[in-house]
Amino acid sequence: MENTYEKALLSKDLFSVDWEVVPGRGAFEKAQEDFVLKAEQAAKSGKIHALTITDNPGGNPSVSAEIMSLEVSRLGLQPLVYFTCKDKSRNELENLLYGLERIKVANLLVMSGDYPAAGFQGRSRPVYDVDPIHVLQLIRKMNEGLEYPSMKGTVTMKPTGFFPGVVASPFKKLESEQLLQYYKLKKKIDAGAQFVITQTGYDARKFHELLLVKKKYGFEVPFIGNIYLLPFGAGRAMSKNMVPGCVVTQKLVDCLDQERKADDKGKGSRLLRGAKMYAFLKGMGYDGVHISGLGVNLDDVLYVIEKGEELAPNWRDVVAEFDYPQKGGFYYFKKDEQTGLNREEESDRLAPARSSLSYTFSRAMHNLMFEPDGALFGFMKKICEKADDGGGFGALFRFVERMLKAMFFECMDCGDCALSDTAYLCPMSQCPKNQRNGPCGGSFEGWCEVYPGEKQCLWVQAYDRLKRAGEQEMIEGNVVPPPNWDLFHRSSWINYFLGRDHAAAKAGIRPAEKGE
């Protein structure tokens, strides 16, 4: 089947529309029957370029998006599969990719995924073995023909045909959160993302900001605006940070509260808002829209498309209605007072706060002991070589290392240390999703998605630390591989000095050759 979704997205003349439907928990429950019915209707309509299938939204168990994609493609409609890292190891992701390739499902939306919530006999264990950048790297390799070593030499597999995209949020409140989203977006596109869908938000100036960021970075992939058809209940939940990553301000909630008093309980206003978003997203320069919302049916989607097309030529007349700034929220560019959108001039950045003692100390020790030109590098290397031989000295060395790293960094002994990549904050112990390349999309006003109001997002802390040294942009170009589980529960110091981990490779420390 021709990939009409890819074709629509890459065509200059088409404005793509995908419709997100949640398949729900169960196999033959009402949710799955409704899902199939909607897919059939969407296929017959000829107006929808892809049906998007969510993967365990909210972190709850659900029928597999990969399996449901087969039902959608059998109907002659392109599926767009949410492909998340939360419940799958790297091998499981690869397994699924082979399955998807066999059934010719190409469109994937690669993301970290909501933190697992309720499950059978309690909360499920989160996996997050890899992040979206690693998945994109894997997909790129598979699309080129993945190579792996075997007893008979290197095996090269047949190239696959995946068309992967990612999600980005321009709706973050803090400078740190927002810039981190853009740094990570650059890494995702460099790793092979071929399209970008925005998170849920309603601030037109922020949608516009993302297009200016696209221009600034020279991203050439299509960008798609998210239109969530928002009823009062969902709006209120989003405004209270109960739906990770979705941003709704109190001003919009008040509006929805008024609208729900109408005879149709606000449905007309909700759909008209969606159509207006369609119009300004198209007018601004987005390449398509992603339409979502609970209980949305095909007629609702068709209304948004038709009315949106009607309004699009005069999109500037409606865009001013989408003025929903967050109080004290950061904007990347200065405001254009005439349009309410942005000028192409960067806004003033906050002055960095004072350096923390912990960061200053960690950095000084790192430079002294771990940088190849550090005064104690040679000494440390010799000690590690001796400790690697095991025996009493090796055991004592491990004990000292474990004590120091657990005390200062809450180290979990993964053995493939990323401390120097994350401003000396451990992503394995302090980020519940173990994100080694930048934050997930779920942070809220600087708080971690999983511990709002309790723990600051590790990446927000890392940004602040690096900014004090004027080095925050190093995050943008620094791609950190997933932890190598060969090294798990082995000395990270020995792994580094003996050239076994990713940090050693970056520092140019080679593993010793036999006889060296």
Contacts with ligand SF4 by CB under 6 A lie at 431-433, 435, 439-440, 442-443, 448-450, 457-459
Nearer to ligand SF4, 41 or 420 (CB): 420
Token pair, residue 107, equals 């469109």
Burial class of residue 505, CB neighbours in 10 A (0-12, 13-18, 19+): middle
Write the DSSP string, 348-373.
Answer: PPPPP-PPPHHHHHHHHHHHHHTSTT
Shortest distance, CB of residue 257 to ligand SF4, whole angstroms?
29
Which CB, 431 or 487, lies closer to ligand SF4? 431
* Smallest separation, CB 439 to ligand SF4 (Å): 4
Single-letter amino acid, residue 383: I
Q: Are 234 and 243 in contact (CB under 8 A)?
A: yes
Q: Which is nearer to ligand SF4, 143 or 241 (CB)?
A: 241
Residue 431: CB minimum distance to ligand SF4, A? 3
Burial class (CB in 10 A: 0-12, 13-18, 19+), 152: exposed
Angle between helices 90-102 and 65-74 (to 10 degrees): 10
DSSP code at position 485: G
Q: Least distance in Å: CB of 435 to ligand SF4?
A: 4
The residue (of 146 and 457) whose beta carbon lies closer to ligand SF4 is 457
Distance between CA atoms of 291 and 259, rounded to whole angstroms? Answer: 20
Nearest to 103 by CA among 66, 75, 140, 77: 66
DSSP 8-state class, residue 436: S
- Collapsing DSSP to helix, strand or coil, 138 comes out as helix
CB of 177 to ligand SF4, least distance (A): 9
For residues 16 and 9, the answer to whether their CB atoms sit within 8 Å is: yes
- Minimum gap (Å) between residue 179 Cβ and ligand SF4: 14
Distances, alpha carbon 509 to alpha carbons 152, 313, 368, 384, in Å: 30, 59, 16, 13
Pick 433 or 500: Cβ nearer ligand SF4: 433
CB of 365 to ligand SF4, least distance (A): 24
Q: Which residue has the tokens 């309980």?
A: 265
Of residues 101 and 114, the one with the C-beta less far from ligand SF4: 114
Smallest separation (angstroms) from ligand SF4 to the CB of 394: 34
Q: Which is nearer to ligand SF4, 180 or 255 (CB)?
A: 180
For ligand SF4, give the closer residue by CB, 82 or 459: 459
To ligand SF4, the closest distance from the beta carbon of 169 in angstroms equals: 12
CA 283 to chain CA centroid, Å, is 26
Q: Which is nearer to ligand SF4, 59 or 439 (CB)?
A: 439
What are residue 405's phi and psi, to 5 degrees? -70, -35
